[in-house]
A and B are shown apart, each in its own frame.
With several copies, the nearest count.
Chain A
Amino acid sequence: MQPIEEKVYKVSELTQLLKLTLEAQFAAVSVLGEASGVVLASSGHLYFTLKDAAGAMKVAMFRGALQRSTLKRLENGQQIVVRGMLSVYPLRGELQIIASDMRLQGIGDIFAALEKLKQAYLEKGYFDPQRKKPLPLLPGRIGVVTSPTGAAVRDIVRILRRRFPGIAVVIYPARVQGDGAAGEIAAGIDHFNGAPPGTGVDVLIVGRGGGSYEDLWAFNEAPVVEAIFRSRIPVISAVGHETDFTIADFVADLRAATPSAAAELVVGKKDEFLNRIDFLRHALMRLMERELHDRRSSLQPLRGESALADFPGRLQELAQRLDNGEFALLRLFQQSLKEKLGQWNRSAQRFAAFDLGGLVKNRGLQVQNLGVRIGARFNERMQQQRQRIGVLDSKLAGMNPENILAKGYSITTDREQRLVRDASALVADEEIRIRFARGSAAARVIKE
């Protein structure tokens, strides 16, 4: 059972209440302190911690205020007076000053010394970007120079194990703060540089976790700076937090904001490397496939519709043309032959129709006929004549004068063969001739 009057806040309600209260109560305060952890966000807002030996407070100066501020560029270690409103950052419930102005109050002791050192090394060329060694693409082994018990070594090992299982890490244990720390760190760096070939490391992480400027001081000391400068192995510095800077950070080949970041930098290279290899491998396969495909397709048209594939078809066309020629040849020639035969047949038939034998027979009959007629006519004529002669002959036979003698008459003729019809014409002794039916006799007239 809860008392009715007990007020229970939600966290946000309380932080909001606190914020309003503080802003009303401390609307304008001026605070003196040393700036540290200065971060200028990309938004243009400035964040830092204002501190002195015994206390610290977060400060946020928004972009508009910064532009109007007396001091516009702030560096760690600067002694400044910040003017502003006290407030609460509700999300974290953190006390902070929302600064409206700031001015320089004189440089702090630590930073003055540090700045001096930095200046000296800069002049010696220790920070020359030209001499910064590139990190190995992929370290085979990583050397770490740090405290074996600190947060740094834990963070580094954790991250490396997670991101690059089983990567070889060799830790050189060194004290990282207090007297002699710088020497141990330097010895670690030198140790790795002095390792025989094949047993060394490819990259060094040198650093420690966060702490005060005093805690980090070893990394500003000459032995460490010189050792880093000497190192043939690329060195990543990883000291404190992102806002902390040491000389080691400037001389190192690469500065990591934190030890974790250093581990990430190293491992990130592996990811990049693997990705690169995969990319290249895929590119290789893709390109090879493309090459094969291109070659294949360069052959493709030759399989399908090209003149090469059409060649057997051309043979068929020629065969057809040839067949056509042959058929035409046969047809035309046989037709011609048939025609010739027909012509021959017609002529031969007409010729055969001509009956020479008949003609000969006709002529024969004609001749025969004429011959018969000639014979008949001639016969007729002969018979006629014979008849006529016969008639005349028999008539003549009847008229023969000698027929009288047969009756007993006789015929007397004189010398001159004249018939004697008158006896007075006779003279005596005249010789006469007397003819009888049979024979004749000569006689002499005796008397008149």
Chain B
Amino acid sequence: MKKETLDFETALKKLEAIVAKLENPDVPLQEGFALYEEGMTLTAQMKKELNDIEKKVKILQKDAKGGLQETDFEPEENG
């Protein structure tokens, strides 16, 4: 399984194209399997990518929340 470094959008489009091809009931078995295999590989790759980003986003959000809790600005106090 070669790890192609397609960007996410291209990979997603490819996956959707694969699904579209698979929707044709006349796809030959071997070709169907090849499509399936490629699709699964792409999916795994994309999930990893999404998960990585999601993790980073969570850290950023946590940081932002944490940073705010300490020094959050309360405009009411000034009123």
Contact = CB atoms under 8 A, between A and B. Distances in A.
Contacts of B29: 291, 295, 318, 336-337, 340, 359-360, 363, 381-382, 385, 401, 411, 419
B75 A396 contact: no
A141 B54 contact: yes
A332 B42 CA distance: 16
B78 A307 contact: no
Contacts of B12: 137, 273, 276-277, 280, 295, 298-299, 318, 321-322, 325, 340, 343-344, 347, 363, 366-367, 370, 385, 388-389, 392
Contact of B47 (A161, A350, A367): A367
Interface string A386-424: 101100110110011110000000010100011100000
Given A140-B5, A419-B30, A171 B59 contact: yes
A312 interface: yes
Contact of B46 (A136, A284, A344, A413): A344
B1 to A, nearest CB: 6
A322 B15 contact: yes
Q: How large is the interface on A (under 10, 10 to 19, 20 to 34, 35 or more residues)?
A: 35 or more
Chain B interface SS verdict (over half):
helix
Contacts of B53: 140-141, 166-168, 292, 315, 337, 356, 360, 382
Interface in A144-183: 148-149, 151, 153-154, 157-158, 160-163, 165-173
Interface of A is mostly: helix
A429 interface: no
A333 B73 contact: no
A374 B78 contact: no
B58 A169 contact: yes
A373 interface: yes
Contacts of A350: 16, 19, 23
A396 B60 contact: no
Given A284-B36, A287-B36, A322-B46, A148 B55 contact: no
A413 B29 CA distance: 11
A392 B1 CA distance: 20
7 contacts: A291-B36, A299-B12, A299-B46, A302-B43, A310-B22, A359-B32, A381-B32
Interface of A: 136-138, 140-141, 148-149, 151, 153-154, 157-158, 160-163, 165-173, 191, 198-199, 270-271, 273-278, 280-281, 283-285, 287-296, 298-299, 302-303, 306-308, 310-316, 318-322, 325-326, 328-329, 332-334, 336-341, 343-344, 347-348, 350-351, 354, 356-361, 363-368, 370-371, 373-375, 377-378, 381-382, 384-386, 388-389, 392-393, 395-396, 399-402, 411, 413, 417-419
Interface of B: 1-2, 5, 8-9, 12, 15-16, 18-20, 22-23, 25, 27-30, 32-33, 35-36, 39-40, 43, 46-47, 50, 53-61, 64, 68, 70, 73, 75-79
